[in-house]
């Protein structure tokens, strides 16, 4: 029999006759089978695991066209060029999508985004630089390290 001693809150497994005596004396309470197992509740997937997609403009000071994906309470945006939206980066044994959403963007959403992207150049996000060292608007670690070395050498 499993009991919880009321004075200390300690849980113990003891023989039935002792447990019954402690419970009847008001010094302990008997634990039911559910309380005594200590197991976690069974997994019950109630959330929708399919993402919701939307094309919209975001921003306060500068509006930007993005693809919005909502999945299990998380909100993710893609605001790059349409031709890179479903581009895969492939290596031996796997791949990932270059869009940072972790999955392929549905065709109808991508077509809507492409149409709005072409029609509204002012809503495009930061564009990659023409400089070879800059990718997606960010400099590489190599060039930043070289610049820091030059500064430190002065």
pLDDT digits 0-9 by tens, 82-122: 998 998 888 888 898 888 888 999 999 999 999 999 998 88
Task: Give yes or no: residues 117 and 79 share one domain.
Answer: yes
Of 146 and 77, more confident: 77
- In a domain, residue 137? The reply is no
Task: Give yes or no: residues 57 and 103 share one domain.
Answer: yes
Name the pTM for this structure: 0.53
Q: Where are the alpha helices (DSSP H) in the chain?
A: 16-24, 33-37, 107-119, 141-153
Dist. CA 105–CA 86, nearest whole Å: 6
Q: How many helices (H) and strands (E) does the chain have?
A: 4, 10
Dist. CA 68–CA 58, nearest whole Å: 10
Task: Give yes or no: residues 31 and 90 share one domain.
Answer: no
The pLDDT value given to residue 34? 56
- In a domain, residue 130? The reply is no
- In a domain, residue 108? The reply is yes
Q: Is the pLDDT of residue 37 over 60?
A: no
The pair phi, psi for residue 116, each rounded to 5°, is -70, -35
Task: Give yes or no: residues 20 and 68 share one domain.
Answer: no
- In a domain, residue 140? The reply is no
- In a domain, residue 145? The reply is no
Q: Give residue 55's pLDDT band: very low, low, confident or very high (50, 70, 90).
A: very high
- 108: domain range? 52-125
Tally the domains of the chain: 2
Q: Give residue 59's pLDDT band: very low, low, confident or very high (50, 70, 90).
A: confident
Residue with tokens 């306060």: 60
Task: Give yes or no: residues 31 and 87 share one domain.
Answer: no
Dist. CA 127–CA 117, nearest whole Å: 12
The pLDDT value given to residue 38? 64
Of the given ranges (65-74, 125-134, 139-148), which has the lowest mean pLDDT? 125-134
The pLDDT value given to residue 111? 95
Region 9-14: mean pLDDT is: 87
């Amino acid at each position: 029999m499993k009991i919880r001693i009321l004075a200390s809150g300690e849980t113990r497994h003891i023989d039935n006759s002792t447990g019954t005596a402690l419970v009847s004396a008001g010094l302990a309470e008997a634990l039911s089978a559910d309380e005594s197992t200590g197991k976690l509740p069974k997994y019950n997937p109630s959330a929708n695991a399919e993402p919701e997609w939307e094309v919209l403009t975001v921003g306060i000071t500068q509006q930007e066209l993005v693809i919005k994906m909502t999945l299990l309470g998380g909100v993710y945006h893609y605001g790059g060029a349409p031709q890179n939206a479903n581009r895969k980066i492939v290596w031996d044994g796997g791949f990932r999508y270059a869009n940072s959403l972790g999955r392929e963007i549905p065709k109808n959403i991508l077509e809507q985004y492409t149409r709005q992207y072409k029609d509204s150049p002012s809503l495009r996000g930061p564009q990659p630089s023409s400089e070879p060292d800059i990718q997606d608007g960010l400099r590489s670690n190599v060039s930043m390290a070289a610049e820091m070395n030059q500064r430190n050498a002065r």
